[in-house]
Chains A and B, each alone.
Chain A
Amino acid sequence: MTAIWMAVIGASLTAFLNKYIGHSVPEKWLDRPRFKRINTLVPIVLLSALVGIQTFAQGSELVIDQRVAGVAVALIALKFKAPFPVVVISAAITSAGIYNLF
């Protein structure tokens, strides 16, 4: 088996295990206010971190490029309560415009 096949099958298996384990943790573990508070914050920190990485990271380097402008426009659109597709499309147009012009 080639290395690529090992990576495809191995990573798919652990990905499913991650997902399935989460669904199988006993419910009584969750019936604690502290756990619930932490768990509510988990998607906030992970999604925020994802936004940061996807906006500024290029591999292991931090860069400022067209993505920053795109995300900034998205934040302005959100501030003005724009609907979701407008937020995403305005970000894409801004980023693509800067990328293709310069």
Chain B
Amino acid sequence: MFINPKTNPVDRTALSVAFTVGLYGAAFGAAGITAGFSILQTCLLSLLLFSGASQFAVVGIMGAGGTAISAIATATLLGFRNALYGIQMAPILKVTGIKRILSAQITIDESTAVATLQENDSDRRRGFYVTGIGVYVFWNLFTYLGALGASAIGDPAAWGLDAAVPAAFCGLVWPRIKKKREFLITAAAIALALLLTPITPAGVPIITTVILAVIFGWKK
């Protein structure tokens, strides 16, 4: 597979997403060190856990003096959506054995989002792998650099990274909102998540919005 972002729009989207999200890995690297994790522990989270929200939850909770159990539980809850993405991607990827293990590892928000935006299965597979592998490479590279220069990058907000990430997700949701009904679902999901934020532990507000998908998808 040759990656050509100049002529292939799938590759262009995939690599833009991969680079933007990967850059945020520097902030994660810095967050890990700040929370008292070693460079090795911080980098292992990016290599093995590889799911941004869950990783931030782990270092955030441990850094604030939380227990390992609460960190694991929150990260697991946040990562449950990756199971739902896997259900969606499996019939398209059709892989087994070691390929399934590797595909599972890169099943995250970004790879699934870029894949499901495409019109046919060949482009979906291309979108999934270019984005997934791209994010993996950039995310781990920048985690290491961020951990190394933890004090140098300082505050991610000073670089606008705190807005760049939700902006990137907006770019991924936007093309899915074609009808008034989908706009309504989006608004309901944001409202529900924000409503739950002050009263439930981290991770619960996001995963709870799956209820909305069930309600709105139940009847045609």
Binding site for B on A (CB under 8 A): 3-8, 10-12, 14-16, 18-25, 27, 30, 33-34, 37-57, 59-62, 66-67, 69-71, 73-75, 78, 83-85, 87-97, 99-100
Contacts and interface: CB of A to CB of B under 8 A. Distances in A.
Nearest to A55: B166
A54 B190 CA distance: 11
Contact of A88 (B20, B185, B197, B206): B20
A91 to B, nearest CB: 3
- Is chain B's binding surface mostly helix, strand, loop or mixed? helix
B149 interface: no
A44 B51 CA distance: 18
B72 A11 contact: yes
A66 B85 CA distance: 31
Q: How large is the interface on B (under 10, 10 to 19, 20 to 34, 35 or more residues)?
A: 35 or more
Given A20-B104, A41-B185, A70 B48 contact: no
Nearest to A39: B88
A10 B72 contact: yes
B44 A95 contact: no
The 8 A-B residue pairs with the shortest CB-CB distance, nearest first, are: A22-B86, A70-B163, A92-B160, A96-B160, A95-B163, A91-B167, A38-B217, A74-B167
Given A61-B198, A71-B166, A84-B16, A43 B193 contact: no
A79 B140 CA distance: 33
Contact of A60 (B85, B163, B174, B198): B198
15 contacts: A11-B71, A12-B44, A15-B50, A23-B86, A42-B88, A42-B210, A43-B84, A50-B166, A53-B193, A53-B194, A70-B160, A88-B167, A91-B164, A95-B160, A99-B157
A11 B193 contact: no
